[in-house]
């Protein structure tokens, strides 16, 4: 159970009041939003930052000489600096903007694919999101790269001994999530990085959940790439990116061609910009980046240890209330996990569970959560997922449990 003193340093009700959407009703009931692992709601600070940028100072960035262009460029690059500070990157130019986490995975896959050979190995875990699986499968199909799978134990933890055995002289990349979007498992990234680097392999981290809940320090983690997305960090959709070690970024060829990513273009040749702009072809997601910068500034204003303690207290409260329900199966109970509750209800499809919960205003996710290999690992075809965020309260937790018990009664 979370430390009560930590809870005293964070007021979820004050945080909740900053989210306009959370005052609405669904099906005549107060909205209980427990789908933040899919996409978080947006605080007033982000909404206002976007509105201000559109109403007060907007133009394209970097290439203009007029006042609006300069103001917008300053705001856009300030957001990059905010991300660098949030992740503890060495310098802001190690932050590459993309339209989200998925594009960042594909950027790395595209670049690495130009140097990989048949028989080279990429290691992923069974708990990965499809965004950290499919790009590597595409390299397997195109180049003959070999995918190896690090297994997940019954409690949802990563089998580190098995992972260590998989890493060998042909391993080129270990791609693993910081925090599972299904299990809530938090992986020991530094230990994984040490294993991979000892074999000369790179380490790519899916931080789309970890950036929200784990306070990542990319220098301490010693990862080569750390990928994040804005819409789970209380920011807008259409924005995300990655941190990369300078040597790892400079070794990647450009991902797309166009304006911004070039130094010179002639009829006979082209030269490319340095990092990060060589990976940011065309007009970037300007407003979205500004909105993400605002989200991170807002988020960093909280005691994030206290936020995490609050989220886990809600998780523990729900699990405690459901402990004697033999019709409920929890998927993922690894020590030190984050506040994600994935579950199945006996003899009931997860989609039906989610639809009944929605009648009571409770929003949860249902399906395979873009992690089909993991669902197969646990022998299920679907599951429901309640994910807790800083704006959730104990009243939300109780409303969820009450609605879930009623949903179960509906199907019996």
Cβ burial, residue 203 (10 Å; 0-12/13-18/19+):
buried
313-331, pLDDT tens digit by residue? 999 999 999 999 999 999 9
* pLDDT for 373 beyond 80: yes
Q: Does an H or E element contain 401, and which?
A: helix 394-411
Q: How many CB atoms lie within 10 A of CB 333?
A: 15
Tell me if 4-30+304-411 shares its fold with 48-299.
no
Model confidence at 1, in pLDDT bands (50, 70, 90)?
A: very low
Q: What mean pLDDT value characterizes the chain?
A: 96
What average pLDDT does this structure show over 249-276?
A: 96
379-401, pLDDT tens digit by residue? 999 999 999 999 999 999 999 99
65-105, pLDDT tens digit by residue? 899 999 999 999 999 999 999 999 999 999 999 999 999 99
Which three-class secondary structure string do you get for 357-383? HHHCCEECEEECCCCHHHHHHCCCCCE
Q: How many CB atoms lie within 10 A of CB 214?
A: 18
Of 208, 214, 223, 370, catalytic: 370
Q: What is the rounded CA–CA span in Å between residue 21 and residue 33?
A: 10
Q: What is the rounded CA–CA span in Å between residue 130 and residue 139?
A: 14
Pick the CATH number of 4-30+304-411 from 3.40.1280.10, 1.10.3720.10, 3.90.1150.10, 3.40.50.300: 3.90.1150.10
Pick the CATH number of 48-299 from 3.40.640.10, 1.10.10.10, 3.20.20.150, 3.40.50.720: 3.40.640.10
What average pLDDT does this structure show over 32-56?
A: 98
List the structure tokens of 117.
Answer: 């050979």
Q: Is the pTM of this model over 0.85?
A: yes
22-43, pLDDT tens digit by residue? 999 999 999 999 999 999 999 9
* pLDDT for 200 beyond 50: yes
Phi-psi region of 379 (alpha: psi -120 to 50; beta: other; left: phi over 0): left
What average pLDDT does this structure show over 343-364?
A: 97
Q: Catalytic: 370?
A: yes
Model confidence at 146, in pLDDT bands (50, 70, 90)?
A: very high
Domain residues of the chain, as ranges? Answer: 4-30+304-411, 48-299
């Amino acid at each position: 159970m979370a430390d009560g003193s930590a809870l005293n340093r964070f007021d979820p009700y004050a945080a909740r009041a900053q989210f306009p959407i959370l005052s609405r009703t669904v099906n005549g009931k107060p909205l209980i939003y427990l789908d933040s692992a899919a996409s978080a709601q947006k605080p007033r600070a982000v909404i206002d930052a976007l509105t201000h940028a559109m109403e007060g100072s907007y133009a394209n960035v970097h290439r203009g000489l007029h006042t609006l262009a300069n103001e917008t460029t300053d705001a856009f690059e300030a957001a990059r600096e905010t991300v660098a500070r949030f992740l503890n990157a060495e310098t802001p130019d190690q932050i590459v903007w993309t339209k989200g986490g998925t594009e960042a995975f594909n950027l790395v896959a595209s670049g690495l694919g130009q140097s990989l050979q048949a028989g080279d190995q990429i290691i992923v875990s069974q708990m990965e999101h499809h965004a950290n699986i499919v790009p590597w499968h595409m390299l397997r199909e195109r180049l003959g790269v070999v995918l190896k799978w690090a297994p997940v134990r019954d409690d949802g933890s990563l089998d580190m001994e098995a992972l260590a055995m998989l890493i060998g002289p042909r391993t080129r990349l270990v791609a693993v999530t910081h925090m599972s979007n299904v299990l809530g498992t938090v992986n020991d990234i530094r230990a994984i990085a040490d294993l991979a680097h000892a074999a000369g392999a790179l380490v790519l981290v899916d931080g789309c959940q970890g950036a929200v809940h784990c306070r990542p320090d990319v220098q301490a983690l010693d990862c080569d790439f750390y990928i994040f997305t804005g819409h789970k960090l209380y920011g807008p959709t259409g924005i995300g990116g990655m941190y990369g070690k300078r040597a790892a970024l400079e070794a990647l060829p450009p991902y797309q061609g166009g304006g911004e990513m070039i130094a010179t273009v002639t009829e006979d040749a082209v030269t490319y910009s340095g990092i990060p702009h060589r990976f940011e072809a065309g007009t970037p997601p300007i407003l979205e980046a500004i909105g993400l910068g605002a989200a991170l500034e807002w988020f960093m204003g909280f005691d994030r240890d206290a936020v995490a303690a609050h989220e886990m207290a809600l998780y523990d409260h729900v699990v405690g209330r459901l402990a004697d329900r033999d019709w409920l199966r929890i998927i993922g109970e690894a020590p030190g996990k984050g506040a994600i509750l994935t579950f199945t209800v006996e003899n009931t499809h997860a989609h039906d569970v989610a639809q009944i919960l929605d009648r009571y205003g409770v929003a949860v996710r249902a399906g395979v959560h873009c992690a089909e290999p993991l669902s197969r690992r646990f022998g299920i075809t679907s599951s429901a997922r309640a994910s807790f965020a800083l704006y959730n309260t104990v009243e939300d937790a109780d409303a969820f449990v009450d609605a879930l018990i009623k949903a179960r009664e509906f199907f019996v």
